[in-house]
Amino acid sequence: MAQKKVVAGKVSHGAKKTGEKKENDKKAAAKKISTSSANQEEMLLQALRGMRDILPDEQPYWERVRRALAHASQEYGFRRIDLPTVEYAHLYLRTVGVGTDIVDKELYLFNTRGGDRVALRPEMTAGLCRAYIEHGMGVLSKPIKLFSIGPVFRYDRPQEGRYREHWQANFDIFGENDPILDAQTIQLAYRVIQQLGLKSIEFQVNSIGTPESRREYEKALTRYLEAQKNKLCQNCRERLVKNPMRILDCKEDKCIQLTAHAPQSLDYLDLESRDHFKHLLEYLDELELPYVINTRLVRGLDYYTKTVFEIISSDSEGKKYALGGGGRYDRLIESLGGEATPAIGFGLGLDRIVLEMKRILVKPYQEPRPRVFLAQLGDMAKKKSLKLFSELEKNGILIAESFGRGSLKSQLRVANRLGVEVTIIIGQKEALDDTAIVKDMVSGTQETVTHERLVDAAKKILKTNQDLKV
């Protein structure tokens, strides 16, 4: 097995905000209005804490992310699946695991009017496995590759780059247990991150073996932690009873220091898991992917088996941020009542990724600029313009307009600001004659053409300008 650096240091998930003062200031500054209801209820005009609007100015970053995800899913043969935001609560209680922070503290649980106990999805994998079983996907040819994207919800204290409603993209592969799929999954994650312009990236990998091999490991870990129980934080003292492996995921400094010398899962792997991990590392070396072995890495969910990994970004000060992660969950489908189905997948935290893109000044997606502007003057010209706009657009011409502006002068100012190459002008006379003035904004020449010739006239000018650029 190739020798790789082993790390057991702290991975910061973003500094926690003090939050309370900012929240109070925000509430005080928010506008309040009275509704017309009988109780004259006051409505606070702001998003709930941990929720947010993704405004138009931010969308170019998100569009770059969406395009990179769509391209990668097609390139690697993934098919898209969209999952419900609300599921029966027992799906998450059963799969995610008692003693995890998600179930104990972060799950949005509520009863419907019909009395069903439901939850907002805290992650994608459980719902994906439910859909796999419900729709009989097991009969499809293997491997089955599925891509999903959407919001997930966790009632956690908001931190930098993290929200109670946040966006996640998942790539999952069902039906194969060969470690080459583990390597391809990590390769895919790296490809997406690279396409988004993020450079200071490493993968932290580990193997936690099978549930059977973990029993001996958990016993050894529990003995070690019990001897130093008083040094653990309060949460980890509770985890020691419910789920001791979760202590390795704690972000408290004193717990990190205490577990730095704890027993390692790699020393307790069964032969199959050890061989699987050995081959994975060989594949990663062959791909020359940036990885380190982190023996403390267990991930925060109970369904993982064998391979687990996280995608880490570092800043100039050495601070580390988790952008996503995943691993194998070979027993999950079977535990839900389906046939034994090996599986591996990973999720990307899109909010955190966008924040990283902004931090290192990655260029956002740039929408194609319109090359033609349609200006009109008078009611009859407006009526004609709507149809002409549609005709130009159907012919593949990216066109802009300013129908709400009254004066021709103000419309032409918009055209100049957009830097279009052609301006089409329809006034009262042109509306009556079924003609239009076509002005070449580069040369300054213009001509009057009939509506039948309008598309060809605009295309001719655009082609001439394109040839001049070449």
Quote the CA–CA distance of 250 and 297 in Å, as a whole number: 10
With 0-12 / 13-18 / 19 or more C-beta atoms within 10 angstroms meaning exposed / middle / buried, residue 31 is: exposed
Which of 61, 120, 56 shows the shortest CA–CA distance to 365? 61
Which of 318, 320, 313 shows the shortest CA–CA distance to 353? 313
Q: Is residue 160 very low, low, confident or very high in pLDDT (cuts 50, 70, 90)?
A: low
The CA R_g of the chain, rounded to the nearest whole Å, is: 29
> Structure tokens of 220?
């050894």
Q: Is residue 230 very low, low, confident or very high in pLDDT (cuts 50, 70, 90)?
A: confident
The residue range of the domain holding 376 is 372-469
Select from 313, 330, 359 the last residue of a domain. 359
Together in a domain, 318 and 458: no
Select from 359, 383, 417 the last residue of a domain. 359
Together in a domain, 354 and 394: no
* pLDDT, position 187: 97
pTM (2 decimals)? 0.83
Angle at 380 between CA 378 and CA 385, to 5 degrees: 90
Q: Is residue 161 very low, low, confident or very high in pLDDT (cuts 50, 70, 90)?
A: low
- CATH code where residue 445 lies: 3.40.50.800
Select from 359, 383, 407 the last residue of a domain. 359
With 0-12 / 13-18 / 19 or more C-beta atoms within 10 angstroms meaning exposed / middle / buried, residue 279 is: middle
- The percent of residues above 70 in pLDDT, for the chain, comes to 87
Q: Is residue 302 very low, low, confident or very high in pLDDT (cuts 50, 70, 90)?
A: confident
Counted domains in the chain:
2
* pLDDT, position 321: 87
* pLDDT, position 296: 87
Model pLDDT for residues 348-370, shown as the tens digit of each residue: 999 999 999 999 999 999 989 99
Cα–Cα distances (Å) from 310 to 299, 335, 444, in that order, read 8, 24, 57
Model pLDDT for residues 414-451, shown as the tens digit of each residue: 888 999 999 999 999 999 999 999 999 988 899 999 99
- CATH code where residue 303 lies: 3.30.930.10
Better-scored residue on pLDDT, 22 or 393 = 393
Which of 452, 458, 389 shows the shortest CA–CA distance to 466? 458
